[in-house]
Amino acid sequence: MPGLSILPVSALMAFVPMIAALIMVYRQHGLHGINVLSKHVFQFNRHNGAAWIPVALLFIPIVCTLEFLILRVIGIPIPLPQITPSETTFFSIAFFVGAIGEEIGWQGYAYPALRKNYNALTAALILGVIWALWHVIPFLQLGRSFHWIIWHSLSAIALRIIIVWLYENTRHSVYIAVLFHTMINVSWALFPISGSYYDPFVTFLILAFAVGLIVFIYGARTLKQTVPSE
């Protein structure tokens, strides 16, 4: 997440959701279940929404650009981002691996289980709250303020709704969730300076507006585009 010039030891918990999911799947379906879940992460083709890949890759960079402009307009002396190819490549690889560790558990296992009993928006909200609380300890270790953690947690809930929206519109692709999760971390780590100027309140306002549009257009029940032939 933003401000990652120094990672706390608890950042390693990114792999705990994956481990927990694999254990649960193994208990329920054995090695075959683990194989199916693992393959599900990288199964992505034109039949399950390749057109959504640009959305997953560009959504958060656009949010960060808007935030940068807003901060400039309101008079925050935020410097221009200093982005290098080597730094971008490093963050992309590192955060992609971490996103796999989280999304196998969150979107690959926990969300489908919640979806059995709730509509898409409610399931996303429940998972979003859990996901936000999951990150509280690392943020405390990074010395984040109560105000920062509250607004960032609300942003995380909004982000989970967006992840679910992408997931539902790509025929349950965990890969799209991994890509989007990767871009969350890459974009904010590259935000000036190493994410130190990131303002979770401004981020939440932008994301809340985006989520409102998504729910209005796609509906809370499925968050999915209606296809007449289905």
Does residue 174 contact residue 103 with C-beta atoms inside 8 Å? Answer: yes
Count helices and strands (H / E) in the chain.
Answer: 9, 0
Based on its alpha-carbon atoms, the radius of gyration of the chain, rounded to whole angstroms, reads: 17
* 8 A C-beta contact, residue 71 and residue 197: yes
pLDDT of 190-224, one tens digit each? Answer: 999 888 899 999 999 999 999 999 999 999 999 99
**128 or 10, higher pLDDT:** 128
Closest CA to 92 of 67, 66, 136, 57: 57
Residues 103 and 164: beta-carbon distance below 8 Å: no
Share of residues in the chain with pLDDT > 90 (%):
66
Q: Are 70 and 201 in contact (CB under 8 A)?
A: no
pLDDT above 80 for 47: no
* Arithmetic mean of pLDDT, 33-54: 75
Task: Count CB-CB contacts under 10 A for residue 5.
Answer: 10
Q: Report d(CA 95, CA 101) in Å as an integer.
A: 10
Q: Hey, what amino acid is at 27?
A: R
Residue 82, Ramachandran bin (φ over 0: left; ψ between -120 and 50: alpha; else beta): beta
d(CA 5, CA 187): 14
Whole-angstrom distance, CA of residue 10 vs CA of residue 73: 36
Position 9 scores a pLDDT of: 52
List, for residues 12-32, the tens digit of each pLDDT value: 677 888 888 889 888 888 887
Which comes out higher in pLDDT, residue 166 or 230?
Answer: 166
